[in-house]
Amino acid sequence: MKQRWWYLQERYNTGGWSGIAESVRHALGDPQSSHPEASYLRWIALYDTLSSEDRSEIQRHIERLSYKPLISIVVPAYNTPADTFRQMIRSVQAQLYTNWELCIADDASPAAHVVEILKAFAKDDPRIKWVRRQSNGHISAASNSALELATGEFVALLDHDDILPEHALYHVALTLNAHPDAELIYSDEDKIDEDGRRYEPYFKPDYSYDQLLGQNVINHLGVYRLSTVKDIGGFTVGMEGSQDYDLVLRLVHSQHCSPDKIHHIPAVLYHWRQENGGTSFSQSQLERCVGLARDAINNQLAATTDGPKAIANPHVSAWHRIVWPLPSPQPLVSVIIPTRDRAQLVQQCVEGLLHRTAYDNLEIVIVDNESIEDETFGLFSELKQDPRVRIIRVEGAFNYSALNNEAARLASGEVLLLLNNDIDVMHEDWLREMVSLAMRSDVGAVGAKLYYADNRIQHAGVRLGAGYFNNGPGIAGHLGHLEGRTDTGYFGQLMLVRDVSAVTAACLAVRRDVYLQVDGLNETDLKVAFNDVDLCLRIREAGYRILWTPFAELYHFESVSRGSDLAPEKVKRFHSECQYMIDRWGSDLVNDPFYNPNFDNRAGDYQLAFPPRHRKPWLN
């Protein structure tokens, strides 16, 4: 009964928790180990293992909560191995937050021990409620039977063989106190093997609608408002293997739910047991489950908008790509390319736009910043023969922000595409992809997947706070840097359309009205560096989303035309721009909502933080 079929791997049966102590001792014995498993076990021992003092503080914190909602834990069960079943139930009984009820539906299990175990636990604990179905209806019907037992304000979904850590419901209750209008809460998760050893944690980003359309990032632990679940009809019979995905898609598209009512808890609150031999429903019928998931996405897209369609993700077929429609007629795109000489780069860039891009309704605005070479002027004369190309001359020292702003004022397009002169086209559909996303009313800007000449990734979105500045947190850095073109990244981050806090202006699509609404790039304080990050943050501040897509791929020969920002004569300006970003954005730079606080901002992408960047809530 597993629903995260999109990245299925070899699984293992779990025999209990006996392996954890030895695992922790092994990890702590080699604190310098860079092996992901050893690093994670060390992280667990240091930051995710409760002491008696932690438990006492959590219980005191719970006593102080003004809102203590009843949480119904819904479990469909079928022929669960006895020891595994008991471990699941005991993990619920061990919850430090005690206002819960456990609602189990036995789906007519042939094995007699399932009912025997239920009877024994329910006799000793009145919070355990159960029902035995008269016939086997599979996971959706069984889940609905369990839902009928629920009386709490919220329901948490738990598989019959998985484990909740003892502080799971405490975190949920804490989140509900902060956000009593929540419709959906989800947490980070990991896996447990046959020895009870935890591994492969999924430290998730905050809610991203587009990433959810690509894969079920919500999944474990998912907590829903019961009245809404009932209002949208509970679980859909026939969606077995993708029933949780179908439920969350219907929820986020319902009138009850909006993005501000979806909350992510950056803590591992669910241990997902792995089965040996791939015997779960979604493993044994993977192709069917993928098809049902895609049907669920398309059902919701068809009901709410006109035209987008889910197809197989070309990189991992069990994931999804959404093809969004373009308005008719296609909006005019004004491609803005600042340059100072570098005729060969400009020629290559413009040739790719005019002859290797399958998008006809565009104009190219080349911003000439004091070019002096005859080769450049000869190229300009040639390019101006095409009515789609305009060249404007701007005098003065290089100011990337001012050059783009001047071109934006003169541009005619509904969409502006900020483009460096050292970009080269890789496939013809890239611009269509970017424009189709940029034209969505809730989207403010869109970034592309950029590569160096050797096909290693240069840009896959921007994460805030990366690296160092003056012995403190950095400003920003590119995600995916130096990864290979076919690398899927951390849980698919390099192959899925997703929300990010910022994207590079080396290739950035933005509707002209949005650009003007936020006053464009900051040409006073950020003449060269971080103007794109600042722009994106102001766009987000205005209520729009920033998307990055892997389906718009281009080469970017970074800074070929003007050299490094760290050249000696530019260090002073660079430091000034760094300081401006810190003064303007402050804590936002170290709290990127799409980069989990359990990751180290100072290290490479998705490396565990020692310690995490957030305090334990019971110590605040």
Answer whether residue 619 is part of any domain. no
Domain termination site, one of 252, 282, 301: 301
Q: In this structure, what are the phi and psi dihedrals at residue 198, rounded to the nearest 5 degrees?
A: -80, 145
Residues 417 and 523 in one domain: yes
373 and 456 belong to one structural domain = yes
Beta strand pairing call for 476-478 and 333-339:
unpaired
Q: Are 480 and 463 contacting, i.e. CB atoms less than 8 angstroms apart?
A: no
Cα separation, 490 vs 200, in Å, equals 11
**CATH value at residue 154:** 3.90.550.10
Residues 469 and 565 in one domain: yes
In a domain, 608, yes or no: no
Is residue 289 assigned to a domain? yes
- Tell me whether residue 341 is in a domain: yes
> What is the 8-class DSSP label of residue 608?
B
What's the chain's average pLDDT?
90
| 530 found inside a domain | yes
Same domain, 188 and 228: yes
- pLDDT of amino acid 36: 73
What is the reported pLDDT for 284?
A: 52
DSSP string, 2-69: ---GGG---------STHHHHHHHHHHT-TT---HHHHHHHHHHHHSS--HHHHHHHHHHHHH-S---
What the block records as the tokens of 84 is 């595994």
Does any domain span residue 297? yes
The answer to whether the beta carbons of residues 143 and 234 sit under 8 Å apart is: yes
Residues 260 and 340 in one domain: no
Q: According to the model, what pLDDT value does residue 559 have? A: 53
Same domain, 261 and 348: no
Q: How many CB atoms lie within 10 A of CB 185?
A: 24
Q: Which residues of the chain have pLDDT under 70?
A: 1-34, 276-284, 305, 558-569
CA distance 346 to 12: 55
Whether 384 and 289 share a structural domain: no
pLDDT of residue 567: 58
Residues 256 and 338 in one domain: no
Q: Which of 284, 301, 318 is at the close of a domain? A: 301
Q: Are 163 and 192 in contact (CB under 8 A)?
A: yes
Phi, psi of 90, deg, nearest 5:
-65, -30
Tokens of 298: 């398309």
Domain co-membership, 222 together with 351: no
Query: Domain range for residue 388?
Result: 333-590
| Judgement on whether residues 258 and 373 belong to the same structural domain of the protein | no
Is 368 found in the same domain as 237?
A: no
Residue at 595 is within a domain: no
Three-state secondary structure string covering 75-143: EEECCCCHHHHHHHHHHHHCCCCCCEEEEEEECCCCCCHHHHHHHHHHHHCCCEEEEECCCCCHHHHHH
DSSP state of 283: H
Q: For the packed helices 36-47 and 19-28, what is the interaxial angle rounded to 10 degrees?
A: 100
Helix (H) / strand (E) containing 349: helix 343-355
**Location of structure tokens 């300009």:** 380
**Rounded CA gap, 41 and 502, in Å?**
32
pLDDT of res. 27: 41
Phi, psi (deg, nearest 5) at residue 104: -115, 130
Amino acid, res. 404: N
List pLDDT tens digits, range 602-616.
999 999 999 999 989
Question: To which H or E segment does residue 249 belong?
Answer: helix 243-252
pTM of the complete model beyond 0.95: no
Instruction: Decide: 254 and 232 in contact? Cβ < 8 Å.
Output: yes
Number of domains in the chain: 2
Specify whether 295 is located in the same domain as 356: no
What lies within 8 Å, CB to CB, of 391 at 6+ separation is 365, 366, 368, 380, 383, 384
Evaluate whether residue 33 is within a structural domain. Answer: no
Domain boundary residue among 257, 286, 301? 301
d(C-alpha 540, C-alpha 538), whole Å: 5
* Residues 600, 203: Cα–Cα separation, whole Å: 12
Instruction: Give the pLDDT confidence score for residue 288 in this predicted structure.
Output: 84
For residue 441, the model assigns a pLDDT of: 95
Phi/psi of residue 502, each to 5°? -160, 160
Q: Give the integer Cα–Cα distance in Å for 519 and 90.
A: 57
Q: Which residues pair with 424 in a beta bridge?
A: 555
